[in-house]
Chain A
C-alpha cells in the first residue's frame, strides 16, 4: 500500500523532466537568427567586408536606435547591391528591415531607426547582383532609461 508521501515523491520522476525546465531562450533565438540568415543567403558563403553598419555602441534607449548601412559598390547595371538585410540576435524575432535597391539607387546607403532589445550583435548582410553576400556586424550595449511608467527602475 503506497503512502501518500511516497506517491508524491514518485510523481517528481514520473513527469517528463524536459517539460519542467524553462526553454533555453538564447539558443532558440540563435537558431531563429541562423534560419533567418539562411533564408536570405541559402547555401552561399557570407564574407565580411564591403558593408559598413553604423549604430551607437552604447545605446540610450533600445526603443529607437538610429542605424545606417552603406555598401561599397559602383551601383551600375552590371555591378550593384540588390538588397540590404539587417538582423539582431537578441530580439524576439531576428529580422529588422530588408531594403531592395538596384542600379537606380546611385549609392548603396540606407538609414533608419530600429529597436534593439538587449546587448548583443547586430548584423547587416548585402546581397550583390553577382549573387555574392557580404556582411558587417556591430556589438552594442543597450541600457534602460531610469524611471519608467511601470515596474522596473
Chain B
C-alpha cells in the first residue's frame, strides 16, 4: 500500500533551487482524543522526516501532534550534483518509511 509520495524534479540546472514535496499516509493520532467511553486514544504520530542528498543531510523536520493527518512537507534545496535524494520518516510504535528519488543535474 502506498504510504509515501515524494515529488522531486527529474532534472535541474546546477545551482538551481528546486522544490521538493513529500506526503506521508499516517493518521497522526494526537493523543488528546477520547473514545465515546472517555478513554484516551494513545498518541501515534510521525515524529521526524530527514532528507539526504547523496548522503548529506539537507533537511530535517520534527513533527508534533499539531501536524495534520497525512502530513505534507514541502521544502527546497540547491541542485548541486546528479544523484539520489533519500527520505526517511520515523515515528511512534516503530513507524518507519523510506523513499528515494533520482535527480539529474546538468
Contacts and interface: CB of A to CB of B under 8 A. Distances in A.
A98 interface: yes
B7 interface: no
B77 interface: yes
A91 B60 contact: no
Nearest to B72: A113
B60 A112 contact: no
Interface stretch (A24-32, A103-111, A137-145): A103-111
A121 interface: no
Interface residues of B, number: 28
B68 A150 contact: no
Nearest to A36: B64
Contacts of A97: 61-64, 66-67, 73
Given A110-B74, A113-B71, A98 B61 contact: yes
B36 A150 contact: yes
Interface of B: 17-18, 30, 32, 36, 53, 56, 58-69, 71-78, 80
Interface of A: 63-65, 88, 91-93, 95-102, 104-107, 109-116, 150
| 6 closest cross-chain pairs (CB), A and B | A106-B17, A113-B68, A95-B64, A111-B74, A106-B78, A96-B66
